Structure 1
């Protein structure tokens, strides 16, 4: 399997600064691989909350993660501050492919990058539903070479 080519900082239209925590490090002295996915989740949900298109408790629809992937290029360790970059690579009728780059503060090349795909479903039935107009507008602002 061929490793993905790293996308530079300017390929991402939205950023969230994230401070690493002491507990993020593993016994090898760097951030444990599972924590990277937590950073991915944090930048996506922060964006959706700030845009007013996500309400954890009351939204009639919820996004379920159906696929994740991460490529690691260099280590991150506490007390690094990272900038989590976010873009939308594909915007479907009920799904979104988010791409995330994790950059050490001030660096243009990512320490890691990856993606996850949300399928938006009805909260009760768990059946896919079309993205709302508000959600589509918020996500279109992040779209890079995407199907809109």
Structure 2
């Protein structure tokens, strides 16, 4: 298993299964986004409702390796592969409890001013938190 500084366990839901009996591909993206944003809010102090800075996803990718379905639980690993002045590239791995790699992907966020939507420098508590996830 690849090394990730942060892990979150996520139970799959009944509605995550599609007509083929496995978790639909869009759910993987939603799980990645959820793990990233949960971490940003809890550890980075990101105020998604009224803070002056928000993170916009400008790129995402997911490669699928194994099928999974409800009622499985996934362990999702998170790390930062690159931290720039105003952007960050996260890498995410999704594993079953038996450590089977289900999917791996990446998200790129650009942090911007909430009002102008212009890039801003990642600083303070948010930068410190992101640095703690670097591999």
TM-score surpassing 0.5?
A: yes
Contact 2:67–2:102 at 8 Å: present in 1 too? yes
Matched with 2:126 is: 135
Shift of the alpha carbon at 1:106? 3.4
Matched with 2:105 is: 114
Runs of 4+ in 1 over 3 A off after TM superposition: none
Shift of the alpha carbon at 1:42? 1.0
1:102 maps onto 2:94 in alignment? yes
Question: Any unmatched runs of 5+ in structure 1?
Answer: 1-7
What is the TM-score of this pair, normalised by structure 1?
0.88
Within the candidate set 17, 20, 25, 2:17 is matched to 25
Alignment partners' CA distance in 1, 2:6 and 2:125: 18
CA distances 1:28-51 after superposition (whole Å, capped 9, x unpaired) = 000000000010011111111111
SS in 1 for 2:101: coil
Question: Any unmatched runs of 5+ in structure 2?
Answer: none
Over the residues paired in the alignment, what is the CA RMSD in angstroms? 1.0
1:125 maps onto 2:116 in alignment? yes
Alignment partners' CA distance in 2, 1:106 and 1:42: 22
Matched with 1:38 is: 30
Shift of the alpha carbon at 1:123? 0.1
Alignment partners' CA distance in 1, 2:86 and 2:45: 14
Alignment partners' CA distance in 1, 2:112 and 2:131: 19
Shift of the alpha carbon at 1:52? 4.5
Task: State how many pairs are aligned.
Answer: 135
